[in-house]
A and B are shown apart, each in its own frame.
Chain A
Amino acid sequence: MFTRFRYLQSLGLVALASLLGVPIRALLHPTNLVMLYMAAVVISAFFLGRGPSILASFASVLAFDYFYVDPRLSFTVADTEYLVTFTGLLVVGLVVSGLAARVREQLAALRDREIRVEALNDLGRDLTAAFNLEEMLRAVVSHVSQTLSREVVLLIPRDGMLEQRAATPNFSLEPSELETARWSFENGEAAGIGTDHFPEARARYVPLKTMQGVMGILGVRPQPGGAFLNLAQRQQLEGFAHLAAMAIERARLAEEANRAQVLGEAEKLQTALLNSISHDLRTPLVSIQGVLDTLLEVEEGGENAVVLDQPTRLDMLENAREETARLNRLVENLLDMTRLEAGTLKLRLEPGDLQDVIGSALAHLDEPYRRRPVNVSLAEKLPLIPMDFVLMEQVLVNLLDNAAKYSPPGAPVEINVSCHNNEVLLRISDRGPGIPPDELEHVFDKFHRVTIPGRVKGLGLGLSICKGIVEAHEGRVWAENRAGGGSVFNVALPLEHIKRGIV
C-alpha cells in the first residue's frame, strides 16, 4: 500500500517535471529540458527509494520523448540523435537510483542501530536508578517487551530452583516451557525457538551470563502469528541479556553485603541480650527462689528450723510477687523486641479512641506505679485515629512506667493530648531528674539506660519498643527536657495513614 504510493509519487514528480518544462520550452533546447527529468529521478532516488526512482527513469525517457521531442505528443522520434539523449538519461537515472538507494539504506541501518543503542542506554539508565531487584526485573521486562514487541519472562533462581520473577501480563509459563528455561539455565546456552535445543518450545530462552555464572533466564515469545527475531533484533536481545545479567549480579552482591551487615547487627543484639538476660532476668529469679526456699524451710520445721514472724513472711511473699511481675514485664519486652526486630509485628489497625487507650493503660500499670497521681488532659472532640489498640496501650504503659520509674514517688505525671493539623500529639511529662542533653537522642536506642547511679533496673528496651511501635504507625516519638525540671516524652500520630489509606 505504502510502497505503491511511493511509486505514484515518483510518477507525479515526472509529471511535474513535464509541466514545468511547458513554459520554458520555447526558450531552451530540448536536450536541456532533460535536466528537469534528471532532477525528478534524483529526488525520487533520495526520498522514495530504488524502485520508484527506476520507474521515474523510464517514465522520464517516455515523457521527454512524448512531450518535447519532435514530433511532439507522439512516441515517434524524428531525429535519431535523441536516442543518445534517451540512453544517457536512462543510464544516469539508473546509476543515481542505485547510489541514492544505498545511501538511504545505510542511513536507515544507522538510525536502526542508534535506536537500538538508545534502547540499551535507556535500560541501563533504568537499571542504575532501580531501587531493588524487583524494580530491576520489571525494568528489563518492560524494555525488552517494548523494544522487541514480544511477550517477555524473567526467571531467577531461588534456593537453586529457577522460578518466574517478572513477566509481561500475557506470558504464562507452562511446565514444558519451564523445563526448556531450566535446561538453558543449567547449560548456559540459549534454548527454544530458533535454536538447536527444544526448537518446538513457544519462546526463546537466553541465559543471563556473567563472570560468576548464569544469573537467570530471559525468555521472549513472539506474539501469535508474529515474525521471529531478525539478526539485528537477536543482537539486541543479547545486549539486553548482558545488561540484565550485570544488573542482577550487582543486586545480588548488594543483597549479600546487606545480609552480612544485618547479621552483624543481629549478633550484636544477641550479645547484648545475653548479657542483659544473664543479669536482669536472673535477679528476680534469684529473689523468688530465695523467698521460696526460706519459706519451705520454715514450713518443714525440724532441728534447725528457721523461725520467721508473720509480717516478715508476708513481706517476703510480697517481694516474690513483685519480682514475678518484673520478670513478666521483662519477658514481654523481650518478646515485643524480637517481634519488632524480626518484622513479624503485624498491626491490627482500627479507628481508636486515645482516651480509651489511656484509661486502659492506667488500669494496666505495674503495681508499684498504679497509685501514682496521673493528671490527664485531653483536647475536646479528639478524632478517632488509626491504631493497633493493644500495641498503642503498650506504648503508653511503657512511657508511664518510665515516667513513674524515673521520678520521685508521689510526684504527679501529666498526660496531655492535643490535635495539630494532621496529627495528634500525646505528651507525657514527669518531674524526674530530666535527661542529660547529649542523651536526648539516644533514650530510644536499644539497651540504652540514662545513667543515674544505682537507681533504675531494667533492660532498657521499653522506650525502643515504644519507638518501634509508634514508627510502625507512621508516627514520631521524641524526648525533651521540661521547663522547671523533668522530662517530656512526645508521641505524634498521624490522623490518617497515607500508605495504607486507612482513616
Chain B
Amino acid sequence: MSDLPANILVVDDEKPIRRFLRASLQGHGYTVFEASNGQEAVSEAAGRRPDVIILDLGLPDMDGTEVTRQLREWTSVPIIILSVRNSEGDKIAALDAGADDYLTKPFGIGELLARIRVNLRRAAKSEQDEPVFTHAGLQVDLAHRLVSVNGALVDLTPTEYDLLRLLVHNPGKVLTHRQILHEIWGSAYEAESHLLRVNISNLRHKLEADPNRPEYILTEPGVGYRLGY
C-alpha cells in the first residue's frame, strides 16, 4: 500500500523515542514534527496542522488526556495514544476525551505504521460517506440495512445491526465500552456492560468464521472494541 504524503506530529518527552520514531517515519515518507510536552504539542498542532498526532500519555507538564481535550476543541485530527500496559484507565480517559486509537509500549514500528495508515484512511473517508462498507468478506449496505458475509446475507437483530453500524462508521477506531453503550443504549446504560458483551458475542457468532479468533470485531482488552480494518 502506498503511503500518503502526510505530516505527523510526535509528542513524547523521551528523546530516544522521538529519535527512532522520526527516523522510521521519515523513512516511510512522512514529514515529522516533534513536541516534548503538552504545551508544545498544542501549539505545534495549531501551527503545523499535522494529519496525525502520536501522543504519549505521560507528559511532564500535562496529562495526555488533557492535551487531547484541548485539541478536540478545534480539530478532529486523528490522535494515536502511546501508553504503558496496565493503565487501561488512562487509555479509556484519553479515548473518551476524543483520541482515536492507542498503542501499548513497547510497540513494533510495523504496528504503528498500520495504525497511522488506518487513521489517515478513515480521516480521508469521513469526508465522503459511502452507502456500502466493504472489508474482506464483510459487506454492510447502510442504505438498505443489509449485512452479508462472503456473499451470504446475515440476519441481525436491530441492536446487533446498530452495534455493527456504529463500528462500521468508525472503521479501525477504538470505541470504548462507555462510548458504545452510550451510543446504542443511551446514557442511562453506560454501566450495563453485560448488554454489550452479550451482543458482541452474538454478533461474532453470526459474522466471524471462528468466533474464538475474531477478525472483524476485535477486542481491545479492558478498553473496548474496534472494527478490524
Q: Which A residues are closer than 8 A to B by beta carbons?
A: 324, 328, 332, 335, 339, 348, 350-353, 355-356, 358-360, 362-364, 376, 378, 384, 388-390, 393
Within 175-216 of B, Cβ neighbours of A (below 8 Å) are at 193-194, 197-198, 200-201, 204, 211-214
13 contacts between A and B (CB under 8 A): A328-B106, A335-B86, A348-B222, A350-B193, A352-B197, A355-B201, A356-B201, A359-B211, A359-B213, A364-B221, A384-B194, A390-B221, A390-B222
The reply on B162 being an interface residue by CB < 8 A is no
- Contact between chains at B88 and A351 (CB < 8 Å): no
**What total count of A-B pairs have CB within 8 Å?**
50
- How far is it, in angstroms, between the C-alpha of A38 and the C-alpha of B38 when the chains are bound? 103
- Contact between chains at A360 and B219 (CB < 8 Å): yes
B74-110 interface bits toward A, Cβ cutoff 8 Å, 1 = contact, 0 = none: 0000000000011010000000000000000010000
The answer to whether residues A359 and B219 also contact, given A324-B106, A353-B197 and a CB cut-off of 8 A, is yes
A328 surroundings in chain B (CB, below 8 A): 106
A393 surroundings in chain B (CB, below 8 A): 221
- How far is it, in angstroms, between the C-alpha of A352 and the C-alpha of B221 when the chains are bound? 11
- Contact between chains at B194 and A351 (CB < 8 Å): yes
Which residue of chain B lies nearest to A364 when distances are taken between CB atoms in the complex?
Answer: B221
The answer to whether residues A353 and B201 also contact, given A328-B106, A348-B88, A390-B88 and a CB cut-off of 8 A, is yes
B201 surroundings in chain A (CB, below 8 A): 353, 355-356
Which residue of chain B lies nearest to A336 when distances are taken between CB atoms in the complex?
Answer: B86
B219 surroundings in chain A (CB, below 8 A): 356, 359-360
Task: Pick from B106, B193, B211, B221: contact of A351, CB below 8 A.
Answer: B193
- How far is it, in angstroms, between the C-alpha of A328 and the C-alpha of B105 when the chains are bound? 10
Q: Which of A335, A350, A356, A360 has the most CB of B within 10 A?
A: A356
- How far is it, in angstroms, between the C-alpha of A364 and the C-alpha of B218 when the chains are bound? 12
Number of chain B residues whose Cβ lies closer than 8 Å to a Cβ of chain A: 19
B172 to chain A, nearest CB (A): 16
A413 to chain B, nearest CB (A): 13
B204 surroundings in chain A (CB, below 8 A): 355
A85 to chain B, nearest CB (A): 93
- How far is it, in angstroms, between the C-alpha of A114 and the C-alpha of B37 when the chains are bound? 75
A350 surroundings in chain B (CB, below 8 A): 193
- Contact between chains at A390 and B86 (CB < 8 Å): yes
The 7 closest A-B pairs by CB, nearest first: A390-B222, A351-B194, A376-B212, A360-B219, A353-B197, A390-B221, A389-B222
A358 surroundings in chain B (CB, below 8 A): 212
- How far is it, in angstroms, between the C-alpha of A339 and the C-alpha of B212 when the chains are bound? 30
- How far is it, in angstroms, between the C-alpha of A176 and the C-alpha of B197 when the chains are bound? 56
- How far is it, in angstroms, between the C-alpha of A348 and the C-alpha of B194 when the chains are bound? 14
B212 surroundings in chain A (CB, below 8 A): 355, 358-359, 362, 376, 378
- How far is it, in angstroms, between the C-alpha of A328 and the C-alpha of B108 when the chains are bound? 12
- How far is it, in angstroms, between the C-alpha of A384 and the C-alpha of B211 when the chains are bound? 16
- How far is it, in angstroms, between the C-alpha of A364 and the C-alpha of B214 when the chains are bound? 13
A389 surroundings in chain B (CB, below 8 A): 221-222
B56-90 interface bits toward A, Cβ cutoff 8 Å, 1 = contact, 0 = none: 00000000000000000000000000000110100
- How far is it, in angstroms, between the C-alpha of A332 and the C-alpha of B88 when the chains are bound? 15
- How far is it, in angstroms, between the C-alpha of A363 and the C-alpha of B213 when the chains are bound? 8
- Contact between chains at A360 and B106 (CB < 8 Å): no
A353 surroundings in chain B (CB, below 8 A): 197-198, 200-201
- How far is it, in angstroms, between the C-alpha of A62 and the C-alpha of B211 when the chains are bound? 106
B214 surroundings in chain A (CB, below 8 A): 359
A363 to chain B, nearest CB (A): 7
B222 surroundings in chain A (CB, below 8 A): 348, 388-390
The answer to whether residues A384 and B221 also contact, given A359-B213, A359-B214, A363-B213 and a CB cut-off of 8 A, is no
